Structure 1
C-alpha cells in the first residue's frame, strides 16, 4: 500500500470487493489483491485466497463499471495511463511449491512454471488496455523470522527451504524484460525489493531498526492472529511484523532505497 503512495497513485487503495466502495474511487485506483494468493492456483487453494486469475476477472468487471461511469474513451485513457503494481511469488515459493506437490520439479523448474503464469497474467492485463506494469520481486524469505528458524541459525544467507527467491527473481527480471520488448507500447518493469530488504535484514541498525530476527507480533510465532496478539512496544523498530511479513516501516525503508537508486522515482 505504501508503494502505491510512493508512486503518486493515492494514499490508500480501497479494495474493489468492498461492498461500500464509492464509485468515485474507480477512476483513481482500487486494489484487487488477496492476501496469501500467488501465481499458481495451487497456492491460493492452500491459503484459501482469491486466485490471481479470478482477480483478473474482477478487473475485467471493474473495466465495465469504469466505462459505465466515465465513458469508453475516458476509461481507455485511464487504463493506458494507470500503473498495475503486482506482488506475487512469495507465497508460491514458500507455500504453493510444497503444498501442491510440485516440489518434485525442483526450485528451478517450479520458477520456470511460475514464469508461464506471470507471462499470461501480464499479457492479459495488456490485452485489457493496461500499458504500465511494475512487477515486484519476491523478498528474501531466508531472512524472515520463519526462514531463520528453519535453518536454526541467526543469519539469513545460504541454502534455505524458505528462500528460492533469488532463482525466482532472476527469471522474473528476464521475463518482464522480454515482455516489455514484445508488447508494443508497453512499459513493464521489474521492481527489486529483494536487495534492499536483504540489506536491511542483515544490517538493521544501519537503517534505524533494532530487530530483524523476530516479528513484532507474536515475536517467534507464525502469523499475527487473535490468539497471538502479543506485540512489541514499538513496531517501527522491527523489520518484520510477524514471521514472514515486513513492517510498514521496513517497506518505507525499502522504497526509499529504490527511489534513491532510480533518482527518487519508482517507475
Structure 2
C-alpha cells in the first residue's frame, strides 16, 4: 500500500533532455508501483477486480492499485521508454517487455521485511531475487554484453517504506520493542542495505522515494484523526523524520568509495503531495480527504469492490482513488512535479 534516498538532485526539467534516455525502467516497492505482481501470489492484498482499473485501457483491472496508471507507467511514458511497465510475475512477457523494464513491486511490502511477511507479500529481498532471475532471462534474449549494458544504464525506481510506519509500527504491536526513533533508524538501515544490494546487481541510477504525509492519507485520518478526520500530526512527523534520515543516508552512499559510479537520488514525495492535499483548488480537485471509492473513508483493496463500494462519478476531481492510493490524475500531477524538479 503506501511509500519511501537523496543526492544533490538537478532541479530543472531541462536536465532530463541532457541525459541519455535510459533503455529500461525497473521498479521495486509497494502498492504505489505494483502493476499486478500480487495477482500471482497468495495474499489478500490485491485489487485485480473492478472498480480498480476502470480508467485503464480496456477498463482492465490489472492489479494496479488505482483507477488507471500508476507512477511507474507514468515515468516510463514521460521518458519515452513505453506506455506501461508490466508486472514481472503472472504476465506473459514479450522480449520487448524484458528489454525495456518491468516492475517487481508488491503491494503491502516495506523496507522492514516483517511488513511484507505480515500480509504474505514479496519482501524487498524477494523482489531482488526476482531481478536476479530476470537478468538471466535478459542474457538469453540480448546476450551477456548487451544485457550488462541495459542493467548498468537503466533507471531504477524504489518506492516503499510507508507501510512500515502506517501498518507495521503504528497499527500492529510487533515492532513496539522499538521506540519510534529507533524503528526509523532500523528502516533506514534496511533501505540502505537494499540500495547497496541493488548496486551489487549492477544498478547505478537509483531513485528512492521518501514517505508521503502518512497522517493525511484518508485511511489514517479515519483511524486516528478523530471525529473530524483531521491529519494525524504524529504520523506526519514520523514521515518527516524518516525522510530526513533517508536523505542523509543516500547522500552518504551516493558516489561513495563503496559504490563508485552510483547516481542516487532521494525523491521528496511529502512536499508536493501535502501541497495537493492542502490546496485542492490549485490542482483542480474537489476532494482530498476521502477516496473516490465507496464512502471514501475506509475502502481499500477488498473493501473497494463493485458489489459494496461504487466509485464516485468523476475520479478526476478526487486526489485519492481509495483510502490509500491516488487516482491516475493525482499520480499524473504528482509525477509531473517530481520529473520537473529532479530532471528524471
Q: Is 1:151 aligned to residue 225 of structure 2? A: yes
Measure the CA separation in 2 of the matches of 1:234 and 1:38: 31
What's the TM-score once normalised by structure 2's chain length? 0.72
CA separation of 1:231 and 1:19: change in aligned 2, threshold 3 A:
closer
Counterparts of 1:60-209 in structure 2, within 5 Å, are 60-97=132-169, 98-99=171-172, 101-149=174-222, 150-152=224-226, 153-156=228-231, 158-160=233-235, 164-182=238-256, 183-209=259-285
Task: Please report how far the alpha carbon of residue 156 of structure 1 lies from its aligned counterpart in structure 2 after TM superposition.
Answer: 2.4
Checking the alignment, whether the CA contact within 8 Å between 2:293 and 2:299 is kept in structure 1 is no
Task: Please report how far the alpha carbon of residue 87 of structure 1 lies from its aligned counterpart in structure 2 after TM superposition.
Answer: 0.4
> Residue 105 of structure 1: SS of its match in structure 2?
coil
Query: How many residue pairs were aligned?
Result: 263
Task: Please report how far the alpha carbon of residue 133 of structure 1 lies from its aligned counterpart in structure 2 after TM superposition.
Answer: 0.3
Measure the CA separation in 2 of the matches of 1:93 and 1:251: 21
User: Relative contact order (alpha carbons < 8 A, sep ≥ 6): 1 or 2 greater?
Assistant: 2
Q: Is 1:239 aligned to residue 311 of structure 2? A: no
What's the TM-score once normalised by structure 1's chain length? 0.92
Measure the CA separation in 2 of the matches of 1:261 and 1:102: 35
Q: Is 1:221 aligned to residue 295 of structure 2? A: no
Measure the CA separation in 2 of the matches of 1:72 and 1:254: 37
Measure the CA separation in 2 of the matches of 1:147 and 1:202: 16
Measure the CA separation in 2 of the matches of 1:39 and 1:8: 29
Runs of 5+ unmatched residues, structure 2: 1-71
Checking the alignment, whether the CA contact within 8 Å between 2:221 and 2:232 is kept in structure 1 is no
Q: Is 1:46 aligned to residue 121 of structure 2? A: no
The answer for the alignment partner of 1:23 in structure 2 is 95
Runs of 5+ unmatched residues, structure 1: none
CA separation of 1:204 and 1:129: change in aligned 2, threshold 3 A:
same
CA separation of 1:237 and 1:163: change in aligned 2, threshold 3 A:
farther
Query: What root-mean-square deviation, in Å, do the aligned CA atoms of Structure 1 and Structure 2 show?
Result: 1.8
Measure the CA separation in 1 of the matches of 2:178 and 2:120: 24
Measure the CA separation in 1 of the matches of 2:155 and 2:339: 17
> Residue 102 of structure 1: SS of its match in structure 2?
coil
Task: Please report how far the alpha carbon of residue 256 of structure 1 lies from its aligned counterpart in structure 2 after TM superposition.
Answer: 2.0
Measure the CA separation in 1 of the matches of 2:308 and 2:104: 28
Q: What's the CA shift string for 1:18-53, capped at 9, x where partnerless?
A: 342223311111110011111111111222211111
Measure the CA separation in 2 of the matches of 1:238 and 1:155: 17
Task: Please report how far the alpha carbon of residue 247 of structure 1 lies from its aligned counterpart in structure 2 after TM superposition.
Answer: 1.4
Measure the CA separation in 2 of the matches of 1:19 and 1:220: 32
